[in-house]
Amino acid sequence: MKVLHIGEYVVGGVATYLNELAAYQSQFFDVYLMMSDYNSASDFDVEPDHILRYKYRRHPKYFLPAMNNIRKAIQRIQPDIIHIHSSFAGMLARSLFFVFPKKASVFYCSHGWSFLMDTKPVLQKSYYMIEKMLEFKTDFIINISKYELERSVRLGMSSAKSRFVYSGLRERNRSSPSTPNVPVLFDHIKGDNVIQLLFVGRYDRQKGLDVLLDVFAKYPDLQDLIQLYVIGDSVLERNEWTFPDNVVRLGWVDNNSIDRYYEQCDAVIMPSRWEGLPLVALEAMKNRKAVISSNRASLPELVSHEVNGYIFDLDQPEELVRILRRLDKRTLTDMGEIGRSIFVEKFSADRMNEEFVSLYYEARNMSVTLQHANLTSRSENFE
């Protein structure tokens, strides 16, 4: 079976997710990855000649050339499964099938529905109408959280085509504390009692880093209690933010080393405005770290308040301030152990990959059944 994964900007959580799928599926299938040549990661566990890139920026002048490149790749590879990741890739790839025949089974995962974003109602409605139209050229719609499945179906997306598959992560080989290029974060702290928080994500409005920076600016006493490490950078937006003295900016970190950063922090913080199912939270839980998160979208599916972390109302920043002021290392350690248990039970890569393989075979069987029905119908008409 040939599987073609198509993404747009494949970086951060989407890159991690895609690599989890590709690494596992390459054991059984002939797997190809296709993505933008801009803002995409370079390290994937597939053969280099199976990684395809198209010239692209998120601007209308690039849409048609990108679609043409995707069409040519599909014609050359002749995949049995086309698995599309993220909204813009979903638009570029699925739009082709309104003009050209769709011979493969099409899977689509938005990785966070655009019509559920924290944005203007007119934009939400427009995004929904686009997704509803493209649904006609989709065989399986993958939702990565219960929240997204329930909300999208309630709004009118096809319940028959919709599926729910929690994201999963595999265990990596542990890096040594002396691994080159992995700094010892304790070198930066002001004292043993200072809480070390880790933020991982894009410098975009969605991830809410600005919320956290504003809290530190408004309540300067927190800067003596908290040391914040920020992994990431700008991707979709170019924001000019002021970073207080208690913030250490680390840029993007290689996936093979990132567990060392999780290991060294006391907790992970996620002040997101919206999410699909954030892999950062799963990375934290895998590494026995408590998660401090907003109450938005799917985050309460992952974090239970005062169990494996803390939940705060994003519209009430004083709630976050109260949580930050009473953090202590021992409680965070205990919460991290609970989070690890939740991760093992629900969010392993093996569980996710086995579910997708089952869905792929279901799609193939449906395709074979449909072809047989068409042949039978033609034979009857001929008689």
Does residue 13 belong to any structural domain of this protein? yes
Does residue 200 belong to any structural domain of this protein? yes
> Measured between alpha carbons, how far is 355 from 375 in angstroms, rounded to an integer?
30
Are 129 and 207 members of one domain?
Answer: no
pLDDT band, very low/low/confident/very high, at 313 (cuts 50, 70, 90):
very high
Residue 349 near residue 20, CB atoms below 8 Å: yes
Would you state the pLDDT for residue 184?
A: 63
**Residue 242: domain span:** 185-345
319 pLDDT exceeds 90? yes
Would you state the pLDDT for residue 178?
A: 44
Would you state the pLDDT for residue 190?
A: 58
Are 294 and 358 members of one domain?
Answer: no
Mean predicted confidence (pLDDT) in 264-275: 93
> Measured between alpha carbons, how far is 151 from 135 in angstroms, rounded to an integer?
16
Which ranges of the chain does DSSP label H, i.e. alpha helix? 13-25, 60-77, 87-95, 121-134, 146-155, 209-218, 258-264, 279-286, 299-302, 317-325, 329-346, 349-382
Are 340 and 352 members of one domain?
Answer: no
Long-range contacts of 93-102 (CB under 8 A, 24+ apart): 93/6, 93/67, 94/134, 94/137, 94/138, 95/67, 95/134, 95/137, 96/67, 96/70, 96/71, 97/137, 98/137, 100/71, 102/137
- Number of structural domains in the chain: 2
Does residue 176 belong to any structural domain of this protein? no
> Measured between alpha carbons, how far is 344 from 353 in angstroms, rounded to an integer?
15
Does residue 325 belong to any structural domain of this protein? yes
- Cα separation values, 327 from 97, 186, 200, 295, 333, Å: 53, 18, 19, 18, 11
> Measured between alpha carbons, how far is 380 from 383 in angstroms, rounded to an integer?
5
Are 333 and 378 members of one domain?
Answer: no
Would you state the pLDDT for residue 176?
A: 46
Does residue 178 belong to any structural domain of this protein? no
Place of tokens 């934290």: 284
> Measured between alpha carbons, how far is 23 from 5 in angstroms, rounded to an integer?
12
> Measured between alpha carbons, how far is 93 from 81 in angstroms, rounded to an integer?
13
Mean predicted confidence (pLDDT) in 83-89: 96
Would you state the pLDDT for residue 188?
A: 55
Are 199 and 331 members of one domain?
Answer: yes
Are 233 and 370 members of one domain?
Answer: no
Residue 288 — left, alpha, or beta (φ > 0 → left; ψ -120 to 50 → alpha)?
A: left
The pTM score is 0.81
Are 87 and 205 members of one domain?
Answer: no
Q: Which residues pair with 231 in a beta bridge?
A: 200, 251
pLDDT band, very low/low/confident/very high, at 232 (cuts 50, 70, 90):
confident
Mean predicted confidence (pLDDT) in 64-78: 97
Angle, helix 60-77 to helix 87-95, in steps of 10 degrees:
60
Does residue 235 belong to any structural domain of this protein? yes
> Measured between alpha carbons, how far is 137 from 164 in angstroms, rounded to an integer?
19
> Measured between alpha carbons, how far is 176 from 219 in angstroms, rounded to an integer?
37
DSSP state of 268: E
Mean predicted confidence (pLDDT) in 230-241: 75
Please report, for the domain that includes residue 117, its CATH number: 3.40.50.2000
Are 64 and 115 members of one domain?
Answer: yes
Would you state the pLDDT for residue 68?
A: 97
Query: Rounded mean pLDDT of the chain?
Result: 89
- Tell me which of 239 and 51 has the higher pLDDT: 51
| φ and ψ at residue 247, rounded to 5 degrees | -115, 125
pLDDT band, very low/low/confident/very high, at 117 (cuts 50, 70, 90):
confident
Are 146 and 200 members of one domain?
Answer: no
Residue 3 near residue 360, CB atoms below 8 Å: yes
Would you state the pLDDT for residue 242?
A: 83
Are 222 and 75 members of one domain?
Answer: no
Does residue 370 belong to any structural domain of this protein? yes
Strands (E), 209-257: 226-231, 247-251
Tokens of 247: 């913030």
348 pLDDT exceeds 90? no
Would you state the pLDDT for residue 70?
A: 97
Are 204 and 280 members of one domain?
Answer: yes
Does residue 180 belong to any structural domain of this protein? no
Are 312 and 368 members of one domain?
Answer: no
